[in-house]
Structure 1
Amino acid sequence: MTGRNTKVTMRRHPAAMVSEDDFAVEETDLPRPGDGQALVKVLYLSLDPYMRPMMDPVRSYVPHLNPGDVMPGATIAEVIESNEPELPQGTVVACSLGWQTHGVVTKDVVRVIDQNAGPVSAALSVLGMTGATAHYGLLELAKPTPDETVVVTAASGAVGGVVGQIAKIKGCRVVGIAGGAEKCRYVVDELGFDACIDYKSPDFEKQLAAATPDYVDVLFENVGGPVLDAVLGRINDHARISLCGNISDYNADEPYGLRGLRHLLMHRVTVHSFVIAEHRDYWPTAIAELSGWLAEGKIKYQEDIAEGLDSAPKAFIAMLTGGNFGKQLVNVGA
């Protein structure tokens, strides 16, 4: 098969806030599938906060990117040419091809998607890494019990929205924190949280205190910075924190750090830091239960879809600065 593969690479390491100039668009010949391989066309690309720290030349849980590397990311793709009987042409799979239009896969590195189960894009959100992150971080690590107060930061986001809905299913009181009145209305009216507080409000801490009269038993943390410190001021004895993200520091010239450390000691708080990629064996359990809740109407989700691979850098920056609403995807096949 002839044609071209378009890919987005990291042109340089960002200086604090990432910019569109930090990326480059390149074209190469289509790769050729060998024995046991299949050539796929990418349909959807997932954009996630974890990609930003990978762009910095620092030690982390995965190797950092170097100039010229293809930006990483989870994808949904369709087989267009195959030398693997178990991946016939037309098969739709979840895989990790990054920011490009085509790639070569084997059966061992993909998950076949049931195209009759709903929109295939859900395999990158509630029925993929996003859902597994929420399920594992809340139920396996924080282990909330009925009537406990659960606070979720970035509550209108892809992970936070699922976390809060699971907590409600488990009988908890759930308070979200999000940026802006529109997002807060969505969190309460559509996702069913008991309350949501706009962290941009001048009386944010006063509203947080009013929404957590019995203090906070579980915090699912996606943001860090002053928001985290404000919640630590309301933390309960023997509370549990699932530390999933720290997006407020990803583009900072000077990281804010943690200023409420004393609260962790005073209240004997347990902090669970985790990366869901290290718990792949858990994903089927999470996705199976989430699929059931989704079919029963107990879980809702929202996608923010940018059109075309060339829109990925702009959409990525918007996501990092709170400009998206829901799970950020790119319709690469547009």
Structure 2
Amino acid sequence: MDTEALRSFVRAAELGQFRHAADELGVTQQAVSKRIATLERSLEVRLFTRTARGVELTLDGQAFLPHARSIVASVERAVTAVRPGSRALRIDVLGLRSAQSAVLHDYWRSHPEASLDVVTIRADDPRVAVAAVEAGAIDASFRTVTDPAVLPPDVQMIHAFDSPLELLVGPGHPLASARELTPPQLRKHRIWVPGIAPRSEWAEFYDQLATDFGLRIDAAGPHFGDEVLLDTLADSADVATLVGARDRYIWPADHDLRRIPVVNPTLAYPLSLILPRANPHPGLRGVIAHLESLPRLPEMLWHPSWATAPRRGDSDIANAHRSRSRQE
């Protein structure tokens, strides 16, 4: 059934004149008349009778009106649910316990009025997220394309924030009692990062990290989930892993796992935000402003060589936000 015909019927019934309905809908009176005539033919009933003052509903029209009104309202809700700018801001994160998700949660707690939809695209290749941003399926993604030159012209990538790494070990590990560690102290220790996916940004990150500091990064075996990884660390005296300082992990109290900061230099995983160049969702302004407010890490940082995306604040949307703030 033609929803525009239903919308024309509902407004004509509520306003009592085809002309007023046409003015409100932005079409001609003749278009409204044709839509309603088509609707009446499909229903095989008369919906209106003409009067000196306009139109009035027939008994069939009165019976049909609440159902038509409900259909029109449902269609409008459905359109609103997916239309950028009217639907909730939809942002992709690597995982709901990831640093990106934690930062978005902090933003929402300080802006509870914000309409936010946090999703996870089940793909290791960041180009899948880029395609989703380009198609409008999501409004932004916390992913990094390590070669920005391959980005489509209508998609941009900005630096979001740096996530410092920590060593996560069990109580029997030789480094478990350390308050902080330097990268050279991690040498010769097995750092287990199972499930590193080829072509993922983190595969390149760990390759460069291992090369620059002579670390033993072991990606052997499938990744059976965080629970299995945490159980292994708790029972091992020689296995450790690296986690982001903002990443959220939960383990039983008797695991007694230790999170130890890595400093001098701080190993920083650079997180980027991929978003459209034109007509970004208006809700992104608040998120980017929140990213700009995050505390800076110490100057002595190690980044992978591909961390060359524009710093946060250099994007068109951030510049527009900053310009408007100055005007206000």
Larger radius of gyration: 2
Normalising to structure 2: TM-score of the pair? 0.29
Structure with greater helix share of residues: 2
Structure with greater strand share of residues: 1
Normalising to structure 1: TM-score of the pair? 0.29
Return the structure number with greater relative CO, CA threshold 8 A, min gap 6. Answer: 2
